[in-house]
Chains A and B, each alone.
Chain A
């Protein structure tokens, strides 16, 4: 619960625009909270639709402040790429965790929670709980 060590958030989408827009949305809803490190890793390195392991790894490194990194992913290859990196390699920080959460709602919950100085488990729990919010 230290002000200096905030949980980092990585948003992985098939689309660069989706990832960066969701990051912007979530940060916009933080209000007066702490400055959460959020990085978007959307699309391929060439700017197309898909997932770049390099962009994911760079994003995770850029938000790692030593308090853990929560990774949210949208579809197919975004999820599989993060899982493959976590299962097999050393490309992601040891503290990185893939969060089982809806992408937009989970990102907002994760970023807002991280901005309170919450730890990784609390951030993950808040994002996961976003699945329980019924709309109808």
Chain B
């Protein structure tokens, strides 16, 4: 079972990973975006960590709703409402339960991903975060590790795609040949989930990696 602490550690692990990878995310965002993805997400997840520490929500749903709200408020770019909606809708789908099982979480995350697709209008293959998130959700019944592998593969597979959403879509064919920054950061989110799961399984509870 996954409790509020698990979800808090997932968010903290994501914040650490985004902080580590911020320069890479921004570099990916330079040729096809406006070169702010890493710094925007770093600002957002730093705010998420601070808010979770301050407010200490008691249920998994409340952790993700709070995290989502922070991202919408603080990111400043399109990734704010997109990631914010992902976490907030997932959190709402989890309801008020003190603990959720992995199956319940997988269903909730799918609801979150569906909400992101509805918000941004992106479908798989449009070269967006959806290209990492949909494979991850599809693979989630096989475990967090399988979801991580699927997300990373999905992110890498965006390189040859033509961007159909967001600023990159204005570039047309020039968007081909670059890995999508949003899919890359989505893979980091799922990788942090897998790390948090592995840490929980081994009984380690250091809050780090």
Chain A interfacial positions (CB closer than 8 Å to B):
44, 48-54, 76-77, 80-81, 83-85, 87-89
Contact = CB atoms under 8 A, between A and B. Distances in A.
B84 interface: yes
A83 B92 CA distance: 17
Interface stretch (B13-21, B66-74, B152-160): B66-74
Contacts of B115: 87
Given A54-B73, A87-B119, A88-B89, A76 B80 contact: no
Contact of B78 (A76, A87, A89): A76
Given A51-B76, A83-B119, A87-B85, 4 more contacts: A81-B81, A88-B72, A88-B89, A89-B88
Nearest to B91: A88
A16 to B, nearest CB: 12
Contact of A85 (B72, B76, B78, B89): B72
A76 B76 contact: no
Contacts of B78: 76-77, 80
Contacts of B80: 51, 53, 77, 80-81, 84
A84 B81 CA distance: 6
Size range of the interface on B?
A: 20 to 34
Identify whether the interface residues of B are mostly helix, strand, loop, or mixed.
helix
Contacts of A51: 76-77, 80
Contacts of B119: 80, 83-84, 87
B144 to A, nearest CB: 26
10 closest Cβ contacts across the A-B interface?
A84-B81, A50-B76, A77-B78, A80-B81, A44-B76, A53-B73, A81-B81, A76-B78, A84-B85, A88-B88
B120 A48 contact: no
B76 A48 contact: yes
B166 interface: yes
B84 to A, nearest CB: 6
A51 B75 CA distance: 8
Contacts of A80: 78, 80-82, 119-120
A113 to B, nearest CB: 28
A103 B67 CA distance: 31
B167 interface: yes
A52 B76 CA distance: 6
Nearest to B73: A53
A44 B36 CA distance: 13
Contacts of A52: 73, 76
17 contacts: A49-B34, A50-B36, A50-B76, A52-B76, A53-B72, A76-B167, A77-B80, A77-B81, A80-B78, A80-B82, A81-B81, A84-B72, A84-B84, A85-B72, A87-B85, A87-B115, A89-B88
A54 B70 CA distance: 11
A44 B166 CA distance: 19
A27 to B, nearest CB: 27
A50 B72 contact: no
